[in-house]
Every structure is written in C-alpha cells, then in structure tokens.
Amino acid sequence: MERFLWICLAGAAGTGLRYLTQVWASKTFGQLFPHGTLIVNVLGSFLLALLMQIALTSDRISPSLRLVLATGFLGGFTTYSSFNYETLALLEHRAWGTAALYLVLTLLGCLLAGVLGLAAGRALL
C-alpha cells in the first residue's frame, strides 16, 4: 500500500510539471503548434530510458524507486493521449503539414531521446 501511495504522489507531481511545461510552452512559443506536449514526450522519453538503463544495470536505483519514478512521475508527465488527440485535431482542421511535422518530430524526437537516455545511463555507470 505504501508503494502505491508513493506512485500516486509521484504521478501527481509529474502531472503538475506537465501542466506547467505546457503553460510555459504556450506563453513562449504560442499555440499554433503543440510545443508543450512535444517537449514533455521527448524529455519523458529521455528520462525513462536514462532511468531504466541505470535501474536495470546497476543497484543504484531500487525496484521501488524505479516504479515510483517510471510509473508514477514519468507516467504522469508524458502525454501520449494528448499527442494522439492533438494530431487528430490538426488532421480534422486539414493542417496536413503541421500534423505531419508534429508526428515526425514526436516519433523521431522521442526515439532519439530514448537512445540518448540509454547512452547517458551507460556513461553514468
């Protein structure tokens, strides 16, 4: 039960940080492109890969902390469902180029961030 509560608390913190990131991105870059969702998904991909590389190849992160950070914090922080909805909304508005750009940047950005996260985890160890 204690682990469950920590995961829930971490998820709330991740969700809060996602909200603040999206507010900041809207104010900084405008609202024509979903910058906030792109930022949290790419950053979340990097952080999850980094965390898992360190947690699964060393004893520096306990299994309980890994669950709290991965399932809780990063689960609350990343926003695939928002990415999906925003892509569909762009397509419904016939913003083909913007939708394609968002799709490619998200997929390639998250994949690259994951590769960099694994490399950073290996370098730290």
Provide the greatest CA pair distance for the chain: 50
pLDDT of residue 79: 84
Assign 3-class secondary structure to 54-114.
HHHHCCCCCHHHHHHHHHHHHHHHCCHHHHHHHHHHHHHCCCHHHHHHHHHHHHHHHHHHH
Report the domain count for the chain. Answer: 1
Residues 69-107 have pLDDT tens digits of 999 999 999 988 889 889 999 999 999 999 999 999 999
